[in-house]
Amino acid sequence: MKRNKMLWIFFIIPVVIAIYYLYPGQQLPSGKTIDRLVVHKAARKMEAWSGNELLKTYSVSLGKDPIGHKQFEGDCKTPEGSYTINARNPNSAYYKNLGISYPNAADKATAAKQGKSPGGDVKIHGLRNGRGYIGKFHRWKDWTAGCIAVTNEEMEELYKAVKEDAVIEILP
């Protein structure tokens, strides 16, 4: 019995982890333009759509306190609602990013009622520069300040394929 446990600890578990890390994910079909993203926060999934065609589903990490809609700056929540992709930054502190049009008028009003700033700079981004080696392991924990995080490889394909002003729907 002890030998089987040792086999699991020292051989099988590391092999499974290595396969998870190294196994290539599905590629976004080439030549396609993403005009809509749909984020399902509870499932930690983001769908990329071109018209009525689902192109790919990404596993994502969210804000550290992901349940509920973002209320104000610093609450570590990922917003919920319909927004657009309104900016691109190839030189951010996190491997590239796509800006999300948060806050909208309703978000600003909600934060103002609480006497707080709604915040901003909500993005879809890769991993912190210099930490790309973390790869898929970033998905094991919600770690952003309210953004949506993917691997650097995934961010590269999103950065190229998401059209300007694409709609992003962020669902609970």
User: Quick check: helix, strand or coil at residue 83?
Assistant: strand
Residue 144 · residue 122 · CB < 8 Å: no
**Annotated catalytic, 147?**
yes
Handedness of CA 59, 61, 66, 71 (dihedral sign): negative
Q: Which of 40, 69, 76, 125 is catalytic?
A: 125
Q: Which of 40, 76, 138, 147 is catalytic?
A: 147
CA distance 71 to 155: 26
Q: Which residues are catalytic?
A: 125, 147
